[in-house]
Structure 1
Amino acid sequence: MKKRNNIVLIGFMGVGKGTVARALYKLTGKFAIDCDDMIESLANMKISEIFKTKGEDEFRKMESDLAKFLLKNVNNAIISTGGGFYKTKNLEKLGEIVYLKGDFDYIINRIKASPNATKKIAKRPLLKNLEKAKELHSQRDLLYAKKADITINVENKTPKQIAKEIVKNLKNTTSL
């Protein structure tokens, strides 16, 4: 199967993938899909509940099933993924992969600065222990970069600036 005509946003939890997807929608007109929202809708429970009641392995299986669905059915969209979605099989066929990169402290400060910070931290089970989360960020950074067609540093940029940078970088591809 050839690569789909999607923009796939990957990166650590809380980096702003969903926010950037909405800004990209305004620039490109491509519909934005949030993988975590789709999984919550399918499971009829929050991700934190899925982790608590079914475990991380079951959540990862749901991500894998969603990736298969997206690959088969979605084209010409912006796909905002969860932090671990980069591990799914055939990710590179889903579209142009854009790694939204930010250092750990920047991401945590970004979350804490949001009006609903407590809720944003609570919905991310892997942020409960910040030391472990920092280690996970460190492990994933190179893995995200390896998967990405494009890497965009998000630090000290607005979602609109990030979206414009993505569009500029994708001009030479079929994703726009």
Structure 2
Amino acid sequence: MANNLILIGFMGVGKGTIARELARQSGLFAIDTDDLIESLENKKIKEIFKDEGEDYFRALEKKTAKWLEKSVKKSIISTGGGFYKVSNLNKIGTIIYLESRFEKIIERIQHHPQAEKKFAKRPLLQDLEQAKKLFLLRVKAYEACANLTITVEDKTPQQIAKDILKLI
């Protein structure tokens, strides 16, 4: 593989899980933009949102994107739900949109053994009505910037990773 694979999609769709499975199947490293930002700031994402605000967080995403473009090759990159907005995304690698309906994403999180923790770490999922509006705004943008779209509903991470590896 010549460049990075970048997984985009709404929060909770499974980008991190699928990135780890892709890494297992391909032998490449998986990195997560939210983890990078938390390391950079020595704070959890929800704390950054609470203490500094969303604009500050988006600036950290831009900084992370510049670093990824310059420094990371042949890796799988899972991103935060709003990371698709960085201007250099297509210079970082092949963009793969993990597609799912909003209801299926919420159902996926609710059935996770640590569901409460999963919801708590996502500040923008605290109000599901507002989250659905955000989801509807983002869907077209995800589709527009993606090189590939993979539907993830009712598939295991293993199957999704196999599908992605076949397509690239």
Please, what TM-score do these two structures have when normalized by structure 1?
0.94
Deviating beyond 4 angstroms after TM superposition, the runs of 4 or more aligned structure 1 residues are none
CA distance, structure 2, for counterparts of residue 72 and residue 131 of structure 1: 38
Query: 1:146 is matched with which residue: 134, 144, 154?
Result: 144
Residue in 1 that maps onto 2:11: 13
Alignment of 1:22-61 (within 5 A): 22-61=20-59
Q: Secondary structure at the match of 1:12?
A: coil
Alpha-carbon deviation of 1:89? 1.1
Report the counterpart of residue 80 of structure 1 in structure 2: 78
RMSD of aligned Cα (Å): 0.7
* Matched residue type, 1:40: E
Range that drifts further, 39-48 or 9-18: 39-48
Flag structure 2 segments of 5+ consecutive residues without an equivalent. Answer: none
Alignment partner, residue 119 of structure 1: 117
| Deviations 1:23-66 (CA, angstroms, capped at 9, x unpaired) | 10111111000110111111111100000000000000000000
* 1:74 to partner: Cα distance: 0.3
C-alpha distance in 2 between matches for 1:67 and 1:163: 23
For residue 134 of structure 2, the aligned residue among 120, 133, 136 is: 136
Q: Partner amino acid for 1:132?
A: Q
CA distance in structure 2 between the aligned counterparts of 1:168 and 1:147, rounded to whole angstroms: 21
Q: Distance in 1 between matches of 2:110 and 2:34?
A: 20
Instruction: Kindly provide the amino acid, as one letter, of the partner of residue 38 in structure 1.
Output: L
SS in 2 for 1:99: strand
C-alpha deviation, 1:137, in angstroms: 0.5
- Shift of residue 90, structure 1, vs aligned partner: 1.1
How far 1:15 sits from its partner (Å)? 0.2
**1:151 partner SS:** strand
* Corresponding residue to 1:94 among 92, 97, 116: 92
The TM-score normalised by the length of structure 2 is 0.98
- Give the SS at the match of 1:83: coil
Give the Cα separation in 2 of the matches to 1:149 and 1:10.
11
Q: Look up the match of 1:174.
A: none
Matches of 1:19 and 1:13, distance apart in 2: 12
Q: Secondary structure at the match of 1:144?
A: helix
| Counterpart amino acid of residue 10 in structure 1 | I
Q: Give 5+ residue unaligned stretches, structure 1.
A: 171-176
Q: Distance in 1 between matches of 2:144 and 2:166?
A: 21
